[in-house]
């Protein structure tokens, strides 16, 4: 924690301030994303409101809504479709840019507004602090991120089939390559490392409410076999890679689709996302 605070302080002092436009103002944003794999299709629609205090500091808030179409392998005599509100979120962001490096620090909290019986919440407040670094060399834009949290959060590449509670560290590194203006491809590798006791509530297995500390018969995927699992940190440990294709027809809009491979879960996932923002 102290190390991360030092990173923010050093980067904030080192990068030159942006001039001219003070960046102040309101914005509205929306996203629709989904992941399809052997568990079924999990999609998420979210909208929110943001406010920029200046070119460096901003805040935002919103709420997601989940749609889950479960595969026959995770349902037994029950409907394969369910939907519901997820955890409302509140975030704070610091950003600094220079000709050499861009830096963003994002601290996001969620409130337990989602339905725990459907796996949309653990019933507890969660927090995720992510620090991201990026640069650009011609058409190539390398990036890296490091973060700590008490939950395994959804990403742009994986709307997860479960909700978790427990300390984790997460890491990602990769690059995007601009094929032409507003058209790009990307590749990244990621890792999630748990610490201490972990609780996983499945979005795709709702036929039993038994909580155990056992292991899954499917490779490390306890969320495929039990509605809720409490066990050691190894059940959230994961690593893999993602590759994608993205298009931004306008600066306010982004579309992407790709493939993600989870080595630990032995999981192949196709994902997509559409996002937009209006305002600052």
pLDDT score, position 220: 80
Average pLDDT per block of 10 residues along the chain, 280 residues long: 42 43 88 95 96 96 96 62 95 95 97 94 97 96 98 92 96 97 97 96 74 52 91 93 96 96 94 93
Q: What is the DSSP string of 239-275?
A: EEEEEEEEE-SSTTEEEEEEEEEETTTTEEEEEEEEE
What residue numbers bound the domain in which 114 lies?
Answer: 2-14+26-279
pLDDT at 52: 96
Number of other CB atoms surrounding residue 114 within 10 Å: 24
Tell me whether residue 19 is in a domain. no
Q: Cα 86 to the chain's mean position, in Å?
A: 14
Regarding beta strands 211-212 and 228-231, do their DSSP bridges make them parallel or antiparallel, or are they unpaired?
parallel
Q: Where are the beta strands (DSSP E) in 53-139?
A: 57-70, 81-85, 89-97, 102-110, 126-134
Which two three-digit tokens encode residue 257?
């689709």
Place of tokens 């808030």: 61
Rounded to whole angstroms, how far apart are CA atoms 232 and 68?
27
pLDDT attached to residue 170? 97
32 within a domain of the structure (yes/no): yes
Collapsing DSSP to helix, strand or coil, 3 comes out as helix
* Residue 65 domain-assigned (yes or no): yes
Residue 280: the pLDDT is: 77
CATH of the domain at 269: 2.40.160.40
The answer to whether position 20 is within a domain reads no
Question: How many domains does the structure of the chain reveal?
Answer: 1
Specify the pLDDT at position 219: 66
pTM of the model: 0.84
Q: Scan for tokens 């499945």, then name that residue.
A: 202
Identify whether 267 is part of a domain. yes
pLDDT at position 17: 43
pLDDT score, position 156: 87
């Amino acid at each position: 924690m102290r190390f991360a605070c030092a990173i923010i302080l050093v980067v904030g002092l080192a990068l030159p301030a942006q001039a001219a436009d003070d960046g102040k103002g309101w914005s509205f944003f929306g996203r629709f994303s989904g992941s399809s794999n052997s568990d079924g299709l999990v999609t998420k629609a979210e909208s929110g409101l943001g406010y920029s205090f200046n070119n460096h500091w901003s805040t935002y808030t919103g709420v997601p809504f989940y749609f889950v179409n479960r595969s026959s392998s995770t349902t037994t005599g029950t409907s394969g479709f369910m939907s519901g509100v997820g955890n409302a979120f509140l975030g704070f962001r610091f950003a600094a840019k220079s000709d050499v490096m861009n830096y963003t620090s994002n601290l996001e909290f969620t409130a337990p507004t989602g339905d725990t019986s459907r796996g949309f919440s653990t019933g507890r407040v969660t927090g995720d602090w992510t620090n991201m670094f990026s640069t650009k060399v011609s058409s190539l834009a390398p990036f890296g991120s490091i973060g700590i949290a008490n939950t395994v959060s959804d990403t742009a590449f994986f709307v997860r089939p479960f909700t978790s509670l427990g300390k984790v560290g997460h890491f990602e590194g990769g690059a995007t390559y601009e094929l032409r203006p507003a058209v790009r491809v990307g590749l990244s590798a990621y890792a999630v490392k748990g610490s201490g006791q972990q609780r996983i509530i499945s979005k795709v297995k709702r036929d039993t409410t038994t909580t155990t500390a056992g292991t899954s018969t499917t490779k490390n995927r306890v969320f495929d076999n039990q509605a809720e699992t409490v066990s050691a940190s190894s059940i959230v440990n994961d690593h893999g890679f993602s590759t994608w294709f993205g298009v931004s027809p306008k600066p306010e809009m982004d579309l992407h689709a790709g493939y993600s491979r989870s080595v630990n879960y032995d999981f192949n996932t196709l994902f997509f996302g559409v996002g937009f923002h209006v305002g600052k």
